[in-house]
Structure 1
Amino acid sequence: MDGKQLQQQYKNHISDYRQWDQVEHAEDWMLYAQNTGVQLSIDETALSNGELYTIVTNKAAKGRKGALVAMIKGTQAETVIEVLKKIPKKIRDTVTEVTLDMAANMNLIVKRCFAKADRVIDRFHVQKLAYEAVQEIRIKYRWEALDQENGAIGAAKEAGISFEPEVLENGDTVKQLLARSRYLLFKHQDKWTSSQAKRAHLLFERYPLIKQAYNISLELGSIFRTCGSKEVAFKKLALWYNTVEDCGIDSFKTVARSIQAHYSDILNFFNNRSTNASAESFNAKIKSFRSSSRGVRDIKFFLFRLSKLYA
């Protein structure tokens, strides 16, 4: 018996797929109200052909059996709310905390469906905004370096000489320095390798604005790592806002405005120091399971197998 026949035998005769109570609507939504816990996470993931699903998970299950509360096709708030409201209100009102990202649709979903829960914006999404602000400056300088090199190559050709780019002491050209610094700017300086530390020294020496931006991003991360209460974190964030205003870097002003717009939900992190890491981990498990199930073209059957693991 080949693999396809075996799969059909399992689907139609061995498993209880045909008796699955979610089979009629599984492609659009699956719901396991009994898995609702006091602490939930909500996130989105691309499941098949880039199709997005909104996933609600129970933190207490730690990504194992009982973790899946709901899986709903799409990310439109009204669609997700309609499904989640099938969970009895008495159960929904027992939820005390939901972690999420900054997306307005996620905020609305949680607000409507879990009215008594604190909304906690994931600290790593906040930190990611700051890192991206640093990268924006690096990329701007990289394009400038490319233009300068192209101009120098053209001038060398007109002069009938060969072009020799400046080579820095670590072996990088300026263009390479800016390209290869990408990953070190996402890391805390304590985690740099010796070569990354040397590259960072050269980068910051030549581009002090990147160094300033990097230090501002570290200051934001330090607030989440070191502050033990909302009150202390609120004061530190106020000082951080002042630093951003003084630096004059437009991308960081955008980050600061985003934080101000969500500050109460961001500060809720300091209640239990909860993050959306469990949701990210669960999404990774789903993608891995999907990769190992490439032969399963029936999306409903794939979801059935997924539910057997996590519902």
Structure 2
Amino acid sequence: MQYHYKNHLSDFKDWAQKEHSQDWLLYGKNLGNYLSLDETSLSNGELYTILTNKAANGKKGSIVAIVKGTKAVDVIEVLNEIPVERRNMVKEVTVDMAGSMNLIAKKCFPKTEIVTDRFHVQKLASEAVQEERIRLRWEIIEEENKAIEEARKNEKTYKPELLSNGDTHRQLLARGRYLLFKSKAKWTARQIERAEILFDLYPTIEKAYNFSQGLSHIFRNNTNKDVARLKLAHWYNKVDNSEFKSFNTIARSVKLHYETILNYFNNRSTNASAESFNAKIKEFRASFRGVRDVKFFLYRLTKLYA
């Protein structure tokens, strides 16, 4: 059925962008005032940079450009095909924390406001918390392995220490993963109990968790950019003085993207529309049961969304 549609029913053979479709696609007419720039994988881990128009709400007219790869120079070359007068009309572009995405936005839309997606910033903080939990878990596993070996040498049975909630130390660090992603207000009774034990035994996890939640609190509870600027500076100083390696790395990333992160507080814009569109692409890819013919896949995709 797909073969019949491709070769007889559709206008795929006469598609104007067919020749270069595997490398780039451009629909300048879909350019809007508010854009999202992101990357996605179509097949075999091959990345494509996608520029979408937020005003289309993930429907027809969403796709402005699709460019193979993530090299800024390649994407800039394609987007510069759109007349500069039209590109200067763009008011806002949301991006992740990748340097290439920032460079593309700056070069192609010099008069626009660039917004670093808050969820990418928060994701880094969450990953730092989990990194500390995983580090400690590996230490406990190593200690447990040594204790088991020692027990065997002495012809004894090793019994791990049970904590007050019934977890072993190893289980506590494994099961504590889920509660560390959530704010305290959303913890269940069991998670509250587990968190109290976890933070009492491993204070560095509590420290990391508080840093992460402090950053989330700034994004959630501030609408004034100047107030957010001050609070973000205080958060940065706390992290900087803590000498917490993982969070010092995040603090440096925040410092490098300081102004574009603060631009979030102008309109509270995020890259959620780009993430949603990526989900649509994955769903479309699943309906194809994979992507064997990239050109035809892109043809079908742009028929729906460009």
Q: TM-score, normalised by structure 2?
A: 0.97
Written as runs of structure 1 = structure 2, the 5 A alignment for 1:1-311 is 6-294=1-289, 297-311=292-306
Compute the displacement of 1:191 (Å): 2.0
| Cα distance in 2 for residues equivalent to 1:98 and 1:192 | 35
Compute the displacement of 1:295 (Å): 6.4
Segments of structure 2 that go 5 or more residues without pairing to the other structure are: none
Q: Which residue of 2 aligns with 1:3?
A: none
Distance 1:37 1:196, change over 3 A: same
Whether the 8 Å contact between 2:129 and 2:205 is mirrored in structure 1 is yes
What SS class does the counterpart of residue 162 from structure 2 fall into?
coil
Aligned length in residues = 306
The one-character-per-residue Cα deviations of 1:57-113 (angstroms, maximum 9, x if unpaired) are: 001111111111111100001011111111111111110100001111111111110
Letter in 2 for 1:135: Q
The one-character-per-residue Cα deviations of 1:128-168 (angstroms, maximum 9, x if unpaired) are: 11111111211111111011101111111111110001122
Segments of structure 1 that go 5 or more residues without pairing to the other structure are: 1-5
The one-character-per-residue Cα deviations of 1:11-39 (angstroms, maximum 9, x if unpaired) are: 11111212211111111111110110000
Compute the displacement of 1:120 (Å): 0.3
The one-character-per-residue Cα deviations of 1:168-222 (angstroms, maximum 9, x if unpaired) are: 2322211111112122211222222332222212211111111111011111111
Distance 1:295 1:50, change over 3 A: closer
Letter in 2 for 1:238: A
| Cα distance in 2 for residues equivalent to 1:285 and 1:307 | 12
Q: TM-score, normalised by structure 1?
A: 0.96
Whether the 8 Å contact between 2:38 and 2:96 is mirrored in structure 1 is yes
CA RMSD of aligned residues (A): 1.2
| Cα distance in 1 for residues equivalent to 2:191 and 2:57 | 35
Letter in 2 for 1:261: L
Distance 1:36 1:197, change over 3 A: same
Identity between Structure 1 and Structure 2 (%): 61
| Cα distance in 1 for residues equivalent to 2:57 and 2:84 | 24
Q: Which moved more, 1:242-251 or 1:226-235?
A: 242-251
| Cα distance in 2 for residues equivalent to 1:15 and 1:39 | 32
Letter in 1 for 2:282: K
Q: Which moved more, 1:194-203 or 1:234-243?
A: 194-203
